[in-house]
Structure 1
Amino acid sequence: MGQSYLNPLVGPDANLFLANVTFEPGCRNNWHIHHATNGGGQILICVDGEGWYQEEGKSAQSLKPGDVVEIPPNVKHWHGAKADSWFSHIAIEVPGENTSNEWLEEVSDEEYSKL
Protein backbone atom coordinates (compact mmCIF):
# COMPACT_ATOMS: atom_id res chain seq x y z
CA MET A 1 0.00 0.00 0.00
CA GLY A 2 3.02 2.30 -0.18
CA GLN A 3 4.98 4.04 2.53
CA SER A 4 3.92 6.70 5.02
CA TYR A 5 6.13 8.85 7.21
CA LEU A 6 5.27 10.04 10.73
CA ASN A 7 7.04 13.16 12.01
CA PRO A 8 5.98 14.04 15.60
CA LEU A 9 5.84 17.82 16.07
CA VAL A 10 5.85 17.79 19.89
CA GLY A 11 7.93 16.03 22.50
CA PRO A 12 6.84 12.90 24.35
CA ASP A 13 5.79 14.90 27.44
CA ALA A 14 3.36 17.18 25.56
CA ASN A 15 -0.30 17.11 26.58
CA LEU A 16 -1.37 16.83 22.93
CA PHE A 17 -0.06 14.48 20.22
CA LEU A 18 0.59 16.41 17.02
CA ALA A 19 2.36 14.98 13.97
CA ASN A 20 2.95 15.64 10.29
CA VAL A 21 2.01 12.49 8.36
CA THR A 22 3.11 12.13 4.72
CA PHE A 23 1.86 9.41 2.36
CA GLU A 24 3.46 8.31 -0.93
CA PRO A 25 1.08 8.24 -3.93
CA GLY A 26 -1.46 5.45 -3.46
CA CYS A 27 -0.55 4.91 0.21
CA ARG A 28 -3.31 4.76 2.78
CA ASN A 29 -3.65 3.56 6.32
CA ASN A 30 -5.87 0.69 7.42
CA TRP A 31 -9.40 1.20 8.60
CA HIS A 32 -9.16 2.26 12.23
CA ILE A 33 -11.08 3.68 15.17
CA HIS A 34 -10.01 6.26 17.77
CA HIS A 35 -11.89 5.01 20.82
CA ALA A 36 -12.82 7.20 23.79
CA THR A 37 -15.48 7.19 26.49
CA ASN A 38 -15.45 11.00 26.64
CA GLY A 39 -13.81 13.50 24.28
CA GLY A 40 -11.27 11.98 21.93
CA GLY A 41 -11.22 11.61 18.16
CA GLN A 42 -8.80 13.16 15.71
CA ILE A 43 -8.43 16.31 13.61
CA LEU A 44 -6.63 16.33 10.25
CA ILE A 45 -5.33 19.55 8.74
CA CYS A 46 -4.38 18.96 5.11
CA VAL A 47 -1.17 20.75 4.15
CA ASP A 48 0.17 19.37 0.84
CA GLY A 49 -0.85 17.21 -2.11
CA GLU A 50 -4.21 15.47 -2.48
CA GLY A 51 -5.76 12.68 -0.47
CA TRP A 52 -8.85 10.81 0.65
CA TYR A 53 -10.80 10.46 3.89
CA GLN A 54 -13.61 7.95 4.30
CA GLU A 55 -15.89 6.90 7.13
CA GLU A 56 -17.47 3.46 7.07
CA GLY A 57 -20.76 3.50 5.15
CA LYS A 58 -20.09 6.91 3.57
CA SER A 59 -18.56 8.10 0.30
CA ALA A 60 -14.88 9.03 0.30
CA GLN A 61 -14.10 12.74 0.67
CA SER A 62 -11.45 14.33 -1.56
CA LEU A 63 -8.85 16.33 0.42
CA LYS A 64 -6.60 19.21 -0.61
CA PRO A 65 -4.43 21.74 1.26
CA GLY A 66 -6.45 23.84 3.67
CA ASP A 67 -9.14 21.21 4.26
CA VAL A 68 -9.84 20.25 7.87
CA VAL A 69 -11.44 16.95 8.87
CA GLU A 70 -12.92 16.50 12.35
CA ILE A 71 -13.11 12.76 13.08
CA PRO A 72 -15.45 11.93 15.94
CA PRO A 73 -14.40 9.29 18.45
CA ASN A 74 -15.54 5.71 17.87
CA VAL A 75 -15.97 6.15 14.08
CA LYS A 76 -14.36 3.61 11.73
CA HIS A 77 -12.41 5.42 8.99
CA TRP A 78 -9.24 5.61 6.89
CA HIS A 79 -7.19 8.34 5.17
CA GLY A 80 -4.32 8.51 2.70
CA ALA A 81 -2.99 9.80 -0.60
CA LYS A 82 -4.65 9.78 -3.98
CA ALA A 83 -3.14 7.34 -6.48
CA ASP A 84 -1.22 10.06 -8.36
CA SER A 85 -0.24 12.46 -5.55
CA TRP A 86 1.84 12.66 -2.42
CA PHE A 87 -0.28 13.81 0.53
CA SER A 88 0.54 15.36 3.91
CA HIS A 89 -1.64 16.28 6.84
CA ILE A 90 -1.14 17.40 10.40
CA ALA A 91 -2.78 14.85 12.71
CA ILE A 92 -4.03 16.03 16.11
CA GLU A 93 -5.17 13.45 18.63
CA VAL A 94 -8.02 15.05 20.58
CA PRO A 95 -7.58 14.47 24.32
CA GLY A 96 -10.22 12.34 26.00
CA GLU A 97 -10.90 9.68 28.58
CA ASN A 98 -9.99 6.02 28.05
CA THR A 99 -8.57 6.71 24.59
CA SER A 100 -7.07 4.01 22.39
CA ASN A 101 -6.59 3.30 18.70
CA GLU A 102 -7.87 0.10 17.14
CA TRP A 103 -6.24 -0.84 13.83
CA LEU A 104 -8.41 -2.95 11.56
CA GLU A 105 -8.37 -4.43 8.05
CA GLU A 106 -6.59 -2.92 5.05
CA VAL A 107 -8.42 -0.78 2.53
CA SER A 108 -8.36 -3.23 -0.37
CA ASP A 109 -6.93 -2.33 -3.77
CA GLU A 110 -10.40 -3.06 -5.16
CA GLU A 111 -12.09 -0.54 -2.81
CA TYR A 112 -9.36 2.05 -3.38
CA SER A 113 -9.37 1.73 -7.20
CA LYS A 114 -13.08 2.72 -7.28
CA LEU A 115 -12.29 6.22 -5.95
Structure 2
Amino acid sequence: MIKNLSVFITIFFPIFSFAQDSEYNISSFLNIGEKAQNIHHIGDAWLNFLSKADEDYNYNVVMATFSPNSTLDWHKHSTGQVLIVVEGEGYYQERGKDVIVLKKGDVIKSEKGVEHWHSSTPNSKVSYIAIYENEPTIWTEKLTKKYYDNID
Protein backbone atom coordinates (compact mmCIF):
# COMPACT_ATOMS: atom_id res chain seq x y z
CA MET A 1 0.00 0.00 0.00
CA ILE A 2 2.75 2.47 0.94
CA LYS A 3 4.69 1.52 -2.18
CA ASN A 4 1.62 2.21 -4.36
CA LEU A 5 1.11 5.58 -2.68
CA SER A 6 4.76 6.47 -3.27
CA VAL A 7 4.48 5.56 -6.96
CA PHE A 8 1.25 7.60 -7.27
CA ILE A 9 2.83 10.67 -5.64
CA THR A 10 5.99 10.34 -7.75
CA ILE A 11 4.03 10.17 -11.00
CA PHE A 12 1.15 12.56 -10.37
CA PHE A 13 2.57 15.27 -8.08
CA PRO A 14 4.53 16.92 -10.92
CA ILE A 15 1.40 16.88 -13.09
CA PHE A 16 -0.72 18.53 -10.36
CA SER A 17 2.01 21.08 -9.71
CA PHE A 18 2.22 21.91 -13.40
CA ALA A 19 -1.57 22.35 -13.58
CA GLN A 20 -1.28 25.30 -11.18
CA ASP A 21 1.22 27.04 -13.46
CA SER A 22 1.83 30.71 -12.80
CA GLU A 23 0.70 31.52 -16.35
CA TYR A 24 -2.88 31.63 -15.06
CA ASN A 25 -4.31 34.38 -12.90
CA ILE A 26 -6.57 32.48 -10.51
CA SER A 27 -8.27 33.92 -7.45
CA SER A 28 -10.95 32.58 -5.13
CA PHE A 29 -13.93 34.28 -3.58
CA LEU A 30 -13.67 31.73 -0.77
CA ASN A 31 -10.80 33.73 0.76
CA ILE A 32 -12.01 36.47 3.12
CA GLY A 33 -9.35 38.95 1.96
CA GLU A 34 -7.73 41.79 3.87
CA LYS A 35 -9.38 43.64 6.73
CA ALA A 36 -10.46 47.09 5.54
CA GLN A 37 -9.55 50.25 7.42
CA ASN A 38 -12.54 51.89 9.13
CA ILE A 39 -12.70 54.92 6.88
CA HIS A 40 -16.14 54.72 5.24
CA HIS A 41 -17.77 52.07 7.41
CA ILE A 42 -18.52 51.10 10.99
CA GLY A 43 -17.69 47.59 12.18
CA ASP A 44 -15.50 44.93 10.63
CA ALA A 45 -15.17 44.51 6.87
CA TRP A 46 -12.84 42.50 4.63
CA LEU A 47 -12.06 43.04 0.95
CA ASN A 48 -10.81 40.39 -1.47
CA PHE A 49 -9.95 41.89 -4.87
CA LEU A 50 -10.74 38.99 -7.18
CA SER A 51 -9.87 40.98 -10.28
CA LYS A 52 -8.47 44.52 -10.30
CA ALA A 53 -9.11 46.79 -13.23
CA ASP A 54 -6.31 46.97 -15.77
CA GLU A 55 -5.76 47.93 -19.40
CA ASP A 56 -7.74 44.92 -20.66
CA TYR A 57 -10.58 44.86 -18.11
CA ASN A 58 -11.80 48.26 -16.97
CA TYR A 59 -13.70 46.93 -13.96
CA ASN A 60 -13.03 45.63 -10.47
CA VAL A 61 -14.49 42.44 -9.06
CA VAL A 62 -14.33 42.52 -5.27
CA MET A 63 -15.62 40.17 -2.59
CA ALA A 64 -16.70 42.23 0.43
CA THR A 65 -17.57 40.64 3.76
CA PHE A 66 -19.16 42.59 6.61
CA SER A 67 -19.53 41.19 10.12
CA PRO A 68 -22.98 41.49 11.73
CA ASN A 69 -24.01 45.02 12.70
CA SER A 70 -21.58 46.72 10.30
CA THR A 71 -22.50 49.65 8.06
CA LEU A 72 -21.15 51.26 4.89
CA ASP A 73 -21.58 55.01 4.30
CA TRP A 74 -23.77 56.60 1.65
CA HIS A 75 -21.99 56.66 -1.72
CA LYS A 76 -22.48 56.55 -5.47
CA HIS A 77 -20.61 55.36 -8.54
CA SER A 78 -20.13 57.28 -11.78
CA THR A 79 -20.53 54.06 -13.80
CA GLY A 80 -22.89 51.90 -11.75
CA GLN A 81 -22.33 48.76 -9.71
CA VAL A 82 -23.64 45.20 -9.50
CA LEU A 83 -23.85 43.38 -6.15
CA ILE A 84 -24.16 39.58 -5.99
CA VAL A 85 -24.93 38.31 -2.49
CA VAL A 86 -23.13 35.01 -1.88
CA GLU A 87 -23.64 34.58 1.86
CA GLY A 88 -25.77 35.94 4.70
CA GLU A 89 -28.19 38.85 4.74
CA GLY A 90 -27.65 42.53 4.22
CA TYR A 91 -29.45 45.83 3.88
CA TYR A 92 -29.55 47.94 0.72
CA GLN A 93 -31.09 51.37 0.27
CA GLU A 94 -31.14 53.99 -2.45
CA ARG A 95 -31.73 57.62 -1.49
CA GLY A 96 -35.48 58.33 -1.23
CA LYS A 97 -36.48 54.65 -1.19
CA ASP A 98 -37.16 52.09 1.55
CA VAL A 99 -34.46 49.83 2.95
CA ILE A 100 -34.62 46.28 1.59
CA VAL A 101 -33.08 43.04 2.83
CA LEU A 102 -30.79 41.23 0.41
CA LYS A 103 -30.23 37.49 0.85
CA LYS A 104 -27.88 34.88 -0.55
CA GLY A 105 -28.51 34.57 -4.28
CA ASP A 106 -29.84 38.11 -4.76
CA VAL A 107 -28.35 40.34 -7.46
CA ILE A 108 -28.97 44.09 -7.51
CA LYS A 109 -27.81 46.84 -9.84
CA SER A 110 -26.98 50.29 -8.52
CA GLU A 111 -27.43 52.62 -11.47
CA LYS A 112 -24.73 55.19 -12.14
CA GLY A 113 -24.98 58.30 -10.00
CA VAL A 114 -27.62 56.81 -7.65
CA GLU A 115 -26.73 57.43 -4.03
CA HIS A 116 -27.02 54.27 -1.93
CA TRP A 117 -25.58 52.24 0.92
CA HIS A 118 -25.36 48.54 1.75
CA SER A 119 -24.38 46.64 4.88
CA SER A 120 -24.87 43.54 6.97
CA THR A 121 -27.92 43.15 9.19
CA PRO A 122 -27.63 43.28 12.98
CA ASN A 123 -27.74 39.47 13.28
CA SER A 124 -26.07 38.26 10.08
CA LYS A 125 -22.83 38.85 8.30
CA VAL A 126 -23.06 39.43 4.58
CA SER A 127 -20.67 38.62 1.74
CA TYR A 128 -21.20 39.95 -1.74
CA ILE A 129 -19.29 40.28 -4.96
CA ALA A 130 -19.23 43.87 -6.19
CA ILE A 131 -18.54 44.60 -9.86
CA TYR A 132 -17.83 48.18 -10.87
CA GLU A 133 -15.74 50.11 -13.36
CA ASN A 134 -12.38 51.57 -12.44
CA GLU A 135 -13.68 54.93 -11.24
CA PRO A 136 -13.36 56.07 -7.63
CA THR A 137 -16.34 55.63 -5.32
CA ILE A 138 -17.90 58.99 -4.41
CA TRP A 139 -18.57 59.06 -0.66
CA THR A 140 -21.44 61.43 0.12
CA GLU A 141 -22.60 61.12 3.73
CA LYS A 142 -21.91 59.18 6.91
CA LEU A 143 -24.54 56.52 7.65
CA THR A 144 -25.19 57.03 11.34
CA LYS A 145 -25.49 54.20 13.81
CA LYS A 146 -28.76 55.77 15.01
CA TYR A 147 -30.25 55.56 11.50
CA TYR A 148 -29.08 51.95 11.09
CA ASP A 149 -30.40 50.91 14.51
CA ASN A 150 -33.88 52.29 13.67
CA ILE A 151 -34.37 50.11 10.57
CA ASP A 152 -37.45 47.90 10.99
TM value normalised by structure 2: 0.67
For 1:81, the aligned partner's letter is S
Unmatched 5+ stretches in structure 1: none
Give, in whole Å, the separation in 1 of the partners of 2:49 and 2:126: 16
Deviation, 1:18, is: 0.2
Distance 2:83 2:114 in 1: 14
Quick check: which one's helix share is greater? 2
Residue matched to 1:76: 115
3-state DSSP class of the match of 2:71?
coil
Matched, 1:67 2:110: no
TM-fit CA distance, 1:104: 2.1
Count residues in correspondence. 108
Paired residue secondary structure (1:75): coil
CA contact (8 A) 1:50 1:62 kept: yes
State percent identity of aligned pairs. Answer: 38
TM-score by structure 1 length?
0.87
| Relative contact order, higher structure (CA 8 A, sep 6+) | 1
Change in Cα spacing, 1:10 to 1:31, as seen in structure 2 (3 Å) is same
Note the residue ranges of structure 2 that are not aligned, 5 or more in a row.
1-41
**CA displacement, residues 49-82 of structure 1 (integer Å, 9 cap, x when unaligned):** 1100000111011010000110000011000100
Describe how 1:1-115 pairs up with structure 2 within 5 A: 1-13=42-54, 15=57, 16-35=59-78, 40-94=79-133, 99-115=135-151
